[in-house]
Amino acid sequence: MAPALSLVSAAIAVYLLLPVLIIFPVSLTSDAFLTWPPDLASFRWFSAFFDNPAWAHALEKSIEIALPVTVLATVLGTAAALGHSYARHWRRSLQTLFVAPFIIPVLAYALGIYSVAGRVGLVASIWPIVIGQTMVTLPLVFLIVSSGLAGRDRDLPRAAASLGAPWPRVLWSVELPLVRNAILAGGLLSFAYSFDEIVIAYFLSTAGGGTLPVQMLSAANEAADPTIAAASIFVMGVAMTIGILAVAARTWLARTPQ
Amino acid sequence: MSVNATITGVSVKLGSVQALDRVSLTVEAGKFLALLGPSGSGKTTMLNVIGGFVQPDEGGVELDGRDMTGVPPHRRDIGMVFQSYALFPHMSVADNIGFPLRMRGVPRSERGPKIQEALALVGLAEHGPRSVLTLSGGQRQRVALARAVVFEPGMLLLDEPLAALDKQLRDSMQFELKALQNRVGITAVAVTHDQVEALTMADTVAVMNDGHVEQVGTPKDLYLRPETLFVATFLGEANLLPAIRGETVGFGRLGGDTVSGTAVIRPERLTLAQPPHVAGTGLEAEASVDEVTFQGARVRVRVRLKAQPDLVLVVAAPPLAAAQSLKPGDDVVIHADPEAMHVIPDVDAPAGVVTQGEHGELAPGAAVTSGPVQ
């Protein structure tokens, strides 16, 4: 039973990592086109990625968008989780509401914001993308912080109040420090999500001002050169680093008794 | 500065449950009141009303004559020890104790000595820099206590303060807590379901049941002169005998007393003798031994009255050889001190009719035990 289980797990892991296993060698090719099997041993396409102003600009754009998304999603998601943990009525409905952006197709958000942004004259800025991605990443933070809050001792905020702390102090000195790691994990994951997000970014970016994933998509349409592979390895590297950090933060959280 | 508390006609409805039903209580400054009752009796809700965590639907709380309606917990100047202790896990012991001082804007330089003083008060002078997560249950309890008194509040609330400790520690902490309360001179209200704890620590005990107060009194009053069957049976073991116009089954006439109701006598106030017996001055009844249990400090003997074999009484005999050698089936004579026979009059019943009163579940004539018995 156990060996069979390990075998299946290993197979699933390989299946999930297959794109990386293919794209990484491709990015190291010295050929001028995406080929398989690649002629290995060249960082040519990585330098192409970093030297090309279009790619550098896209990277800059991605970070420029991911940072406010992270801040907004973390603050709003944490506030939503805290509010939900204190709600006495409509708890289920509230939870469904906050998690809804996970279920509603992202396309709906992209199109909706597109039509509104046009009317209020925000099309040329990064803010429609920031707002859209914040909506979609908020559930992530909400769920992670909620699970952190669920494990806390309900008496702690009450104890703080009885000891003389008005509610803002209860929040700042007791509630938030208790779920610090969950908030950290939520923030990291929303950054990673925004960095990788394409649907909203594609719909709402201006000509020539796309984020990294958008730039990759258009580059792939024009010429399939291995810079795309190098770019995807870069995006993947960022995402994986953040993912590992988030997992580390959550493990740390799990070890801290509440 | 300890305060007195007056609770007037407090009613609280939690969902569809009437958690408190017009409860009135007073606590004198510097005194220790225990709210004693089974779970669901409303005692914790009462504590939460005093602390400001639950708003009463009716009635109110006054501290030193000041109406507390609408005053939030952080402005009530009340220290509270929670059942879970509720120590902040992300702070050291000293930071936990310093928290209420920090909230009151006490400068850092003054906080240190006060924290140290509070730590010394609970015997943990060396533990300031430690993380609360490394402390044992008993130490956490002390830190919670130190944190609740360090800012010299007018009142101390304790929610099942000893429930999470093991028995030995609990027993010694009862005395320690009482001594500390005395030394600090603070008004204290403690919630407990443990009658020994309540009797040991409190100056006054309020027995609560089903959202109302059954009886308020000194530990001695409650134990010796319970006003209701609930109080009689909740505080320790009680023998209940139906009494009709002063006449009890087996023991005959109670001196002078002609009320109808239920006579309560504690197992330790009954004595056993071997028949034939010399007629004494007290009340006596013939019985046969049903069960003998050696319990260390006493021998618990269960007997059935000859006059009414379905009436079971419990006698707590000193652990002497005579009691230890008793066997089921032995004939004995039970002596009862008339002084120790306390009659609870039937409330609703007309004189002369024995009913089960409002306590339908308690058949008079049964030996009832409730709660931990020492």
b/e for B262-278, b at 16 or more Cβ within 10 A? bbbbbbebbbbeeeeee
Distance CA B196, CA B373 (A): 8
B2: CB partners within 8 A, 6+ apart: B29, B30, B154, B155, B185, B186, B187
Distance from CA of B71 to the nearest CA of A (A): 12
The confidence band for B282, taking pLDDT boundaries of 50, 70 and 90, is: low
Answer whether residue A231 shows pLDDT above 70. yes
Q: What is the pLDDT of residues B230-273, one digit of tens each?
A: 888 888 888 888 877 777 777 777 766 567 788 888 888 888 87
What pLDDT sits at residue A3?
A: 83
State whether A158 and B53 contact (CB < 8 Å).
yes
- Residue closest to B317 by CA, chosen among B332, B305, B329: B332
State whether A158 and B83 contact (CB < 8 Å).
no
For domain B238-368, give the CATH superfamily: Nucleic acid-binding proteins (2.40.50.140)
Distance CA B250, CA A124 (A): 100
State whether A163 and B151 contact (CB < 8 Å).
yes
State whether A166 and B99 contact (CB < 8 Å).
no
The confidence band for A255, taking pLDDT boundaries of 50, 70 and 90, is: low
Q: Which residue of A has its CA nearest to B74?
A: A164
| A156 interfaces chain B, CB cutoff of 8 Å | yes
Distance CA A208, CA B133 (A): 55
Distance CA B175, CA A181 (A): 41
Distance CA B289, CA B334 (A): 11
Mean pLDDT of B103-114: 91
Answer whether residue A214 shows pLDDT above 70. yes
Classify the complex by whether its ipTM is higher than 0.85, answering yes or no: no
b/e for A69-104, b at 16 or more Cβ within 10 A? bbebbbebbbebbbebbeeeeeeeeebeebbebeee
B339: CB partners within 8 A, 6+ apart: none
Tell whether the torsion through CA atoms of B344, B349, B350 and B353 is positive or negative: negative
φ and ψ at residue B53, rounded to 5 degrees: -85, -20
Distance CA B96, CA A11 (A): 50
Contacts A–B by Cβ distance under 8 A? 66
Looking at per-residue pLDDT, the higher value among B313 and A49 belongs to: B313
Enter the CATH code of domain B5-221. Answer: 3.40.50.300
What pLDDT sits at residue B78?
A: 92
Average pLDDT value for chain A: 82
The CATH 2.40.50.140 domain(s) of chain B lie at 238-368
Q: What is the pLDDT of residues A67-76, one digit of tens each?
A: 999 999 999 9
| A254 interfaces chain B, CB cutoff of 8 Å | no
State whether A155 and B83 contact (CB < 8 Å).
yes
The confidence band for B351, taking pLDDT boundaries of 50, 70 and 90, is: very low
Task: Please answer whether residues A40 and A25 qualify as being in contact, where contact means their C-beta atoms are separated by less than 8 angstroms.
Answer: yes
Q: pTM to 2 decimals? A: 0.77
Q: What percent of chain B has pLDDT over 70?
A: 89
The one-letter amino acid at B174: Q
The confidence band for A203, taking pLDDT boundaries of 50, 70 and 90, is: confident
Tokens of A244: 């590992």
What pLDDT sits at residue A142?
A: 94
Q: Which of A10-14, A32-36, B251-255 has the highest mean pLDDT?
A: A10-14
R_g over Cα of chain B: 24
- Residue closest to B57 by CA, chosen among B17, B10, B23: B10
Tell whether the torsion through CA atoms of A159, A161, A164 and A169 is positive or negative: positive
The confidence band for B161, taking pLDDT boundaries of 50, 70 and 90, is: confident
Run of H or E residues at B263: strand B261-265
Answer whether residue A224 shows pLDDT above 70. no
| B357 interfaces chain A, CB cutoff of 8 Å | no
Residues of A within 8 A of B78 (CB-CB) are 162
User: Residue A23 CA to chain centroid, in angstroms?
Assistant: 21
For chain A, how are helix, strand and coil distributed in percent, rounded to 5? 80, 0, 20
What pLDDT sits at residue A39?
A: 56
Distance CA A215, CA A211 (A): 6
| B133 interfaces chain A, CB cutoff of 8 Å | yes
| A178 interfaces chain B, CB cutoff of 8 Å | yes
Enter the CATH code of domain A53-255. Answer: 1.10.3720.10
Distance CA A256, CA B252 (A): 67
The domains of chain A are located at 53-255
The confidence band for B166, taking pLDDT boundaries of 50, 70 and 90, is: confident
Task: Please answer whether residues B36 and B216 qualify as being in contact, where contact means their C-beta atoms are separated by less than 8 angstroms.
Answer: no
The CATH 3.40.50.300 domain(s) of chain B lie at 5-221
Flag the least confident range among A95-99, A130-134, B241-245: B241-245
Q: What is the pLDDT of residues B10-59, one digit of tens each?
A: 889 888 888 898 899 999 999 999 999 988 888 999 999 999 999 899 88
The confidence band for A195, taking pLDDT boundaries of 50, 70 and 90, is: confident
Q: What percent of chain A has pLDDT over 70?
A: 84
Q: How many CB atoms lie within 10 A of CB A177?
A: 15
| First and final C-alpha spacing in chain B | 36
The confidence band for B364, taking pLDDT boundaries of 50, 70 and 90, is: very low
Mean pLDDT of B106-119: 91
Distance from CA of B75 to the nearest CA of A (A): 6
Looking at per-residue pLDDT, the higher value among B186 and B245 belongs to: B186
- Residue closest to B188 by CA, chosen among B334, B74, B67, B81: B81
Task: Please answer whether residues B178 and B20 qualify as being in contact, where contact means their C-beta atoms are separated by less than 8 angstroms.
Answer: no
